[in-house]
A and B are shown apart, each in its own frame.
Chain A
Amino acid sequence: MSHRSDVIFCYDGSFAGLLCCVFRCYEIKVSPAGIITSDTEQLMLGEYEYINTDDTKAQRVQTGIENKLGRRALDRIRRVFLSCDEQKDLIAARYIILGFRYGKAVSGMLADDTVNAFFSLERAVGNEAHLYLGFVRFSEQNGIMTSVIEPKNSVVPIIAGHFIRRFGGMPFIIFDKTHKTAVISSGKEAEIIFIDDLHTDPPDSNELRYRSLWRTFYDTIGIKERYNPRCRMTHCPKRFWSHMTEFTGDTDTNAALTDENTDTRRIENKSPEMS
């Protein structure tokens, strides 16, 4: 495929749209210099081509990926698609093109720059999703377990399955504020939808009681003589703190606390026996 360095594809931001970009690469036999979504500013110099999303073309590319690279590769490409990195579309498309050329062997070509970048993005998305499996915090609202998160990458499609299994038939909602996505489960069925905002009622007394109990446990379980806030920060960066009740305290605000604040709250809540 000849490489024309001035063509930039512009598409609607959907996964099917990305596959159509790949289709276009083969139609006109070029590898683009960039792929952006239609709501991104056009900052690069070059020729912009808008790619329409056509389901038939997308399906052809998808079948091609499944046949040549396997189902697992398709899942990996979906993951990279969920990444927040600016270059994710271009990297994913280049990986698919390499895959069509080399087949399954492409996943072993770890020294190649495209493959390396692709797997780095996949790891980043997967790592954040895994962290969220633990850091999501639910509140009971009228019998439905509700949660709000603000991830860098769009992790809801990845973590949805885990929580559906975990809740075993109980209704729940997880709302991703950054990407305006949510998974809503009635207990019997679940779906992933786009919503602008989620209105949450203030917590009732039962909910507040369990939050307070959790904070008590959290404050007590740390061993004073091993106090190590840097280690804590490495494992649980501050950007997660705003939606985790052990760090926010009694307020429901999004203000993330500093280490000093958290420790002050900790000291104030200490019982006389602890001092």
Chain B
Amino acid sequence: MVSAEMTIQNETGLHTRPGTRFVRLAKTFKCNITIRKRDREFNGKSLLTLMKVGISEGDTIILKCDGEDEDIALKSLQEFIESLEE
């Protein structure tokens, strides 16, 4: 299992548009992907859950990947979040 802590930089956070793209990217990997925000941990491949929890600009999250392709998954997702601009 690998993990990384990140702070969300972009204005709209992981909402609708970036959220959709994040989940689709996450789904391309075999490993389990979870996101931890404060004391809640949830499935990073579920857009519905992502919307319910609400990840906004300034939030600090921990990305966890567990499984076969966990390293590349973590790297890709991190890069994706860092590249968000809107």
Q: Do A and B bind each other?
A: no
- Interface residues, chain B, CB within 8 Å of chain A? none
